[in-house]
Structure 1
């Protein structure tokens, strides 16, 4: 089956059973090698039939990289990496035979690269920090080993200088000269994030391109590598960036592991880096590898070979107009061979082709002309125009579309409504605005837009026609009396017409009226009326006017204000993500801990802050750790410079800067040390040294006016607008406002964690909340001490709170009760639960001899 081109590519192979993740194209551009854990497959691109030769692999490791030898001398050689080993294969007589197995690396091999001119040299790099240079004439060991200290992710020979090679190490580059020992000759700090790809410019010996996780491609001149010559910025981390074999072009692809839905390759002109020149759209999954195929003899088109996660091999045709966009001027004169009928001799016909007409003509040929309510009347690829007619309800529109020469590469077509159209001026303006917006969106990604715009044209006309009908019905109904009756109440506050509110999870919600809405006098008033009664002076001029909210907003008949869209007079709500502007960090909320001693908590949280680059928080957590260590060593901690005043200053600093996250975390770990040193009592010192795991919970016998929950109830909100410290301080109890503020921080942060869905983290914070004891409801039992004869309500460990003696003796064994006890609520006798159980299993009368039938009479009391 011959290859069928679909716009700009054809599918050369669909190999779902291959599960290959490495691809390479040979020196001649004829053979493509696909390698995976199960198979190595070879496809001949010159054959029309999709014939693939598969060679099973007996390995438990996947293939990391593959590459054919680029020289003519050893063009039958290819190499693949599998774990720590390199396998050199020979493709000869339709057979693939392994000729060398290169072993020297001790960790996984990350990349390999053949020398550009020496057919026997091969470079490989690994996680083991070594770069080995192999000579196949003696493959027992590397001919040269370079130690980079850090692991290497990429290695590339210079395409012009035969002695230079570059390696990537995280965000750094090292340049090596194999003639000058085992030390790098240059070191370049290129990126702050990991470098995924390197590529030397094939035309400039000293220029190197680097693609990185930080969404950029940088170009360095090795004569002055201290800063990049220029930077190309993309919307996603870049996996590979490689120069084109023509002009100033560069092809980029995103990192495969991200799976962000961006499966396209982008073609850039390095002289114009603001936007891609073209987007290759065809793969259904991320692109794993791409290489250029050697240009065919007599062809002006280059070809790009791509292999994707969707297990399809695509061949892309790079036509002359794309080459021109990259600064390359191909010879546009094609030679076609024809045979003369009269003389039977071969005649060469030179034919001039237009790179601009051909793609537009292709778009015209693929256009679906069967669009409801629309007719394509003319398509002229030479003059680059298209004329259509749309008839929707009461609108009849003749539209002419003109295509500039640079279309669709960043330049949209122009739209013009012809004079014989039947459409209102407002509707026509709205239609043109919609079409221009859609076209600009499409061409910004170098995509054609004609069919999309024509379909949108019909949809827009249908909406405009429906809106005009609704306006007509509304205008007629407005003239009828008492349509809006029942709302004429002067004491109803006027609704707000705009506003904004912050949410605790980094969301800003804004609402407002449409900017073109007008008021009675035709001018926008400076303020909104406070109540409906304020409108009486406006409406009193005419007896037929009604004072209503609707009349205030919709004055279409009197002012002849024409709305051009369905939502023109409606309030618009905008929701913004402002988390990048706030100090509260979602990742830190998930990583922070509150379990353990304070020093451990501070170390862990400092490390978490360092991961997200918050070095100010790293310093704060380190200082908090010093405070904790000082408290453990110094008994007079409250008077120490690293004591209570410093911890309070830290909490206050972050609270004043609206960092509720840090203020709440510090309040949790230092909450038990809030008592001022001048007011510290023995009772508070005893509490400070308590061994309770919830060390921030204050003693339960605090005075009732120090509980802060009643105060916080009306302040609890999910909005960051409520974090106004001066106003909060005025609402909190006067006796201990610092403690109350800390409780407010904890409560607000717990609410934020709940909104984020971090329920475990929220529970950890709530453990540190102060709370009043639950109000007792129901029956309460207490004993009278047999020694002092006073009621013992708050006794601990079975001892009387008054005389400190054991308050209950067992009626059976006559020993003091120190554990579980039960008493009869009728006669008051009791004792050890175990003894009473044994007694009443056989008897039903009280063991004291009082004659009370304890079980029966107790049950009778509860039954009543």
Structure 2
């Protein structure tokens, strides 16, 4: 078969109309199935012509996964998943027919996998948390049902042991043995983020690999599952990681949902995990699926089949030298020849100082020489040199590119601006810095960079020249204040910042600074940093011998070396959780549901687990104060005057320490104790009206109504400091309470009459604690805990009121929300088409007011544009115009 190979791959199919998102290759390596919502397509890879047989699907659901039976005995069977159903298909005599329909899952199926040795067994997993094992000999129900509590994203049978299978649940792996009931035999805490891919080793029944959203691929052995044997770190979340059928190889691909230009597959050697051995570049969109094609007898090359979002099917040829890079030794290396040079053995290729000469030759042959404003002068493959000339306006840059022997494996090319270039030194250095940075990024992933660097060269040169001309205009403006561009001197525009730090979220500190080799011109001139752009004119007046502009205020040292590498301006992200008293584990363990004594005892135990013994003591005191058992036994501690003072003192103490968590939790716990204490007072006749009772007084406003005016108004006492509303919205700034005098603060909590409304100063503060802590829980992602805290606000949130449509009774002319008028009890709306009163689903035009039954109106407006009442209103058009305006 004559196939047009594009160096390392050829296009087997371009199916723009298929819209397929699942692919599978049969055990013989002959047929490829592509499945989508509209079609199931079969492509014979042995046929030179691109002949595709398409079979329409009558389904409104996409295909989630597809797989051929891995045994030769049942090689004609294939299975696809569609929503909650599995469809088993048979490919025979060029016809595709459905033989089984398996349905037991109640939620969408996430993955499926045939048994590696038994052709009748099939495993499936779903969002419904169940893993089912099906036997096609009795397909009425699953032969085995496994419950995992959490949803499963992957299921895979062991390639060697016929009874083991593994499933992925969020960041965990469960190993099951179908002979040992419905409980997993092993549990592996693999990742902290969601696992996307799972694959068993082809050579060991105890080893498997997992890939995750956390940018890592981890390798485990079931004999020691507590810790990963080794970890492979990538630059992006990994969608699939699968072993190669040769050597120590592994293929990875990024998560398709990212859609950020990472369209390549990476080939790794698991024994050398520092950098990928090869990058498969060819797809124009993200890779959706990839599988290995069965190796044909006498063929020295393996083949990889990939299907992409760009709806192209590529067949990649894995040549012997790539197999060598993965530690695979052919049986007779002397007989295996290089694909590009049949006379040269792979052994000779591997002994060369340059193990991959071909990529540069391929890059030269595929280079687009028709780049605007750029002319390729020469490409010298033996000397590994390339010369180009870029012309922008009257500026000319002659660039020579030297490719090292190990390019592109982690080593970038050298860029040299020739002496006959017509450009100043500053622009030349800026250009070299940009090119070196881009090249380093590409080769760090073992990718070639010539064409991308040449395109970036033109773009950067145009930008640098434009900026240079703008700077000259700006300098002229500063020299001549009467110039028409004097508007640039604005005292309200701050000068650009080059460093800073900011707390983000709850426990993250972000710091940034300029590059190490960047220096301020102000240091050279012995002048300070201006506060605003308008200050540049004053600085220029002080140092009239220097031309000063925004872009030249910060300059970089010229770089005259050939192989100069740019320093990176780094952004440092620090975990600052140790700086604060709030604790995420405590937030997860704390409870609010139950009586006060039980809640305090549980929370004290949670504090002990994290070593916060001060909180253990505080919760013990709180339990003693609020425990209902103490009251039932006749103890009068809950009625003691120190009760109220003690709890207020505790809340105030933790507020001063900026322990938002403890202050808010105490406010919530003892906010609900108010009703209990009032009940005790009513039942106990011995309590005097003059005796004080501790209670947190509800405020008279909702959390959404907290404003700066109300907060400052409520703080009549000079001993309270409340932040404004914009700080409350920020959610993290905690108010610092100065020392509160007992006489002023306790006036807000004590009352002779428990039913009488008292001052809400302290209650306002307590409301703020709860809101601020709820915001902290939200940023931690603890939504359930946040909802529990918000329940203890004194008043509920205001109900959002949006646009509301009311019907007007034609009899009494009163508005009503129901189908019947609240005054005359008559039906308010008659259908303009059937003239019958509307009781069910109705629609009305918001312009003319006419309407009727929804089904009648849908049928009417399929063929008409004008209102059926005859008023002349074009209801659909008028309504659309009203909303668009």
Establish whether TM, by shorter chain, passes 0.5. yes
* SS of equivalent residue, structure 1 residue 359: helix
Counterpart CA distance in 1 for 2:106 and 2:692 is 59
| Alignment match, 2:428 | 428
The alpha-carbon distance between structure 1 residues 111 and 750, as it changes in their structure 2 partners (threshold 3 A), is: closer
Residue 650 of structure 2 corresponds to residue 649 of structure 1: yes
> Alpha-carbon deviation of 1:234?
4.0
| Alignment match, 1:729 | 738
| Alignment match, 1:30 | 30
The alpha-carbon distance between structure 1 residues 468 and 263, as it changes in their structure 2 partners (threshold 3 A), is: closer
Counterpart CA distance in 2 for 1:5 and 1:174 is 43
The alpha-carbon distance between structure 1 residues 235 and 420, as it changes in their structure 2 partners (threshold 3 A), is: closer
Deviations 1:438-492 (A, max 9, x none): 2122333444322232233334444555566666677788888999xx9xxxxx9
Counterpart CA distance in 1 for 2:611 and 2:309 is 39
* SS of equivalent residue, structure 1 residue 729: coil
Counterpart CA distance in 2 for 1:10 and 1:563 is 51
The alpha-carbon distance between structure 1 residues 82 and 566, as it changes in their structure 2 partners (threshold 3 A), is: same
| Alignment match, 2:231 | 231
Deviations 1:252-306 (A, max 9, x none): 3345567777555443332333444455556566544321122456655533223
* SS of equivalent residue, structure 1 residue 360: helix
> Alpha-carbon deviation of 1:656?
2.3
Counterpart CA distance in 2 for 1:599 and 1:285 is 57
Counterpart CA distance in 2 for 1:439 and 1:324 is 26
Counterpart CA distance in 2 for 1:550 and 1:513 is 24
Residue 367 of structure 2 corresponds to residue 358 of structure 1: no
> Alpha-carbon deviation of 1:388?
1.8
Counterpart CA distance in 1 for 2:389 and 2:212 is 49
The alpha-carbon distance between structure 1 residues 751 and 650, as it changes in their structure 2 partners (threshold 3 A), is: closer
| Alignment match, 1:707 | 716
* SS of equivalent residue, structure 2 residue 231: strand
| Alignment match, 2:842 | none
| Alignment match, 2:50 | 50
Higher Cα radius of gyration? 1
* SS of equivalent residue, structure 2 residue 397: strand
Counterpart CA distance in 2 for 1:195 and 1:464 is 45
Counterpart CA distance in 1 for 2:31 and 2:544 is 74
The alpha-carbon distance between structure 1 residues 529 and 444, as it changes in their structure 2 partners (threshold 3 A), is: closer
| Alignment match, 1:71 | 71
> Alpha-carbon deviation of 1:387?
1.2
| Alignment match, 2:519 | 516
What pairs up with 1:171-186 in 2 under 5 angstroms? 171-175=171-175, 186=186
Counterpart CA distance in 1 for 2:731 and 2:182 is 61
* SS of equivalent residue, structure 2 residue 520: coil
Counterpart CA distance in 1 for 2:470 and 2:146 is 77
Counterpart CA distance in 2 for 1:753 and 1:176 is 40
The alpha-carbon distance between structure 1 residues 646 and 69, as it changes in their structure 2 partners (threshold 3 A), is: same
* SS of equivalent residue, structure 1 residue 42: strand
* SS of equivalent residue, structure 1 residue 735: helix
* Conserved? CA contact 1:357–1:381, under 8 Å: no
Aligned residues: 708
* SS of equivalent residue, structure 2 residue 519: coil
Deviations 1:10-59 (A, max 9, x none): 55445566554432101121101234565433221233433332334567
* Conserved? CA contact 1:665–1:746, under 8 Å: no
Counterpart CA distance in 2 for 1:183 and 1:496 is 61
Q: Which moved more, 1:274-283 or 1:240-249?
A: 274-283
> Alpha-carbon deviation of 1:379?
0.6
| Alignment match, 2:866 | none
* SS of equivalent residue, structure 1 residue 241: strand
Residue 460 of structure 2 corresponds to residue 442 of structure 1: no
> Alpha-carbon deviation of 1:230?
0.7
What pairs up with 1:401-480 in 2 under 5 angstroms? 401-465=401-465
Counterpart CA distance in 2 for 1:495 and 1:19 is 51
* Conserved? CA contact 1:239–1:256, under 8 Å: yes
* SS of equivalent residue, structure 2 residue 432: helix
* Conserved? CA contact 1:705–1:733, under 8 Å: no
Which sections of structure 1, spanning at least 5 residues, go unmatched? 338-347, 487-491, 532-546, 770-864
> Alpha-carbon deviation of 1:562?
11
Counterpart CA distance in 1 for 2:187 and 2:208 is 13
Counterpart CA distance in 2 for 1:74 and 1:563 is 72
* SS of equivalent residue, structure 1 residue 428: helix
The alpha-carbon distance between structure 1 residues 7 and 731, as it changes in their structure 2 partners (threshold 3 A), is: farther
| Alignment match, 1:163 | 162
Counterpart CA distance in 2 for 1:736 and 1:361 is 82
Deviations 1:406-442 (A, max 9, x none): 4334332111233444554444333222211121223
Counterpart CA distance in 1 for 2:698 and 2:123 is 59
Counterpart CA distance in 1 for 2:155 and 2:712 is 71
| Alignment match, 1:342 | none
Counterpart CA distance in 1 for 2:527 and 2:718 is 46
* SS of equivalent residue, structure 1 residue 368: coil
TM value normalised by structure 2: 0.61
What pairs up with 1:597-608 in 2 under 5 angstroms? none
The alpha-carbon distance between structure 1 residues 350 and 273, as it changes in their structure 2 partners (threshold 3 A), is: closer
* Conserved? CA contact 1:150–1:169, under 8 Å: no
> Alpha-carbon deviation of 1:552?
3.8
Which sections of structure 2, spanning at least 5 residues, go unmatched? 350-354, 487-491, 557-568, 678-686, 749-759, 796-885
What pairs up with 1:482-521 in 2 under 5 angstroms? 516-519=519-522
Q: Which moved more, 1:409-418 or 1:82-91?
A: 82-91
The alpha-carbon distance between structure 1 residues 226 and 3, as it changes in their structure 2 partners (threshold 3 A), is: same
Deviations 1:832-864 (A, max 9, x none): xxxxxxxxxxxxxxxxxxxxxxxxxxxxxxxxx
Deviations 1:514-551 (A, max 9, x none): 962244875578xx8999xxxxxxxxxxxxxxx98645
* SS of equivalent residue, structure 1 residue 55: strand
Counterpart CA distance in 2 for 1:513 and 1:130 is 53
Deviations 1:344-380 (A, max 9, x none): xxxx974669773332223223333344443322111
| Alignment match, 2:219 | 219
The alpha-carbon distance between structure 1 residues 454 and 615, as it changes in their structure 2 partners (threshold 3 A), is: farther
The alpha-carbon distance between structure 1 residues 59 and 671, as it changes in their structure 2 partners (threshold 3 A), is: closer
| Alignment match, 1:847 | none
* Conserved? CA contact 2:83–2:109, under 8 Å: yes
Counterpart CA distance in 2 for 1:766 and 1:177 is 48
* Conserved? CA contact 2:435–2:453, under 8 Å: yes
Counterpart CA distance in 2 for 1:195 and 1:529 is 51
* Conserved? CA contact 1:520–1:552, under 8 Å: no
Counterpart CA distance in 2 for 1:206 and 1:520 is 63
The alpha-carbon distance between structure 1 residues 748 and 25, as it changes in their structure 2 partners (threshold 3 A), is: same
Counterpart CA distance in 2 for 1:112 and 1:530 is 63
| Alignment match, 1:379 | 379
The alpha-carbon distance between structure 1 residues 328 and 622, as it changes in their structure 2 partners (threshold 3 A), is: farther
Counterpart CA distance in 2 for 1:703 and 1:276 is 61
> Alpha-carbon deviation of 1:709?
10
* SS of equivalent residue, structure 2 residue 407: coil
The alpha-carbon distance between structure 1 residues 192 and 262, as it changes in their structure 2 partners (threshold 3 A), is: same
> Alpha-carbon deviation of 1:233?
3.3
The alpha-carbon distance between structure 1 residues 548 and 599, as it changes in their structure 2 partners (threshold 3 A), is: same
* Conserved? CA contact 1:153–1:167, under 8 Å: no
